[in-house]
């Protein structure tokens, strides 16, 4: 006699085969929720100052100063930055939503110097092919991941 039983003890659906219960769906173990490691101001300053090149220095400062996600930073265009209002427009961010993010005034000065030195065409942080967003941002951050 075979049939399906709900096991009250384990909360799983089991199939009865020859008088024994065989788990059909076993509960998955819960994923551990760990808090992220919080870096001190000195740690953050060390990471930004150890960047190789002005582009990477500006990129790391932009990531930290705005708190934007990597994909959002890679997609920032020159036209998205509003220096007068000290903000940057995030187009189609997480969840497909647009939003504005504040830019610290100290970061704006670095961005202006970066623009004068690099002269990006469309995207702020261009890759090896000028005019296209950099796809190597995550590789830049690999040495700093814990």
Q: Answer yes or no: is 38 within a domain.
A: no
CATH code (residue 67) = 1.10.443.10
2 in a structural domain: no
Residue 43's pLDDT band, with cuts at 50, 70 and 90, is confident
Rg from Cα positions in the chain: 25
pLDDT at position 62 is 92
Q: How many domains does the chain have?
A: 1
Q: Is residue 81 part of a domain?
A: yes
The 10s digit of each residue's pLDDT in 10-29 is 545 455 555 555 555 566 77
Residue among 44, 76, 41 nearest 141 (CA) = 44
75 touches 22 (CB < 8 A): no
């Amino acid at each position: 006699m075979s049939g399906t039983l709900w096991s009250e003890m384990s909360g799983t659906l089991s199939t009865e085969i020859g008088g024994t219960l065989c788990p059909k769906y076993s509960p998955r173990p819960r994923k551990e929720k760990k808090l992220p490691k919080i870096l001190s101001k000195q740690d953050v300053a060390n990471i930004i100052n150890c960047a190789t090149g002005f582009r990477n220095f500006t990129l790391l400062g932009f990531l930290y100063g705005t708190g934007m996600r990597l994909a959002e930073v890679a997609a920032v265009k020159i036209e998205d930055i509003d220096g007068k209002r000290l903000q940057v427009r995030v187009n189609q961010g997480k969840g497909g939503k647009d939003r504005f993010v504040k830019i610290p005034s100290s970061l704006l000065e670095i961005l202006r110097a970066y623009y004068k030195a690099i002269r990006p065409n469309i995207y702020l942080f261009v890759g090896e092919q000028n005019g296209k967003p950099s796809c190597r941002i995550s590789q830049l951050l690999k040495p700093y991941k814990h």
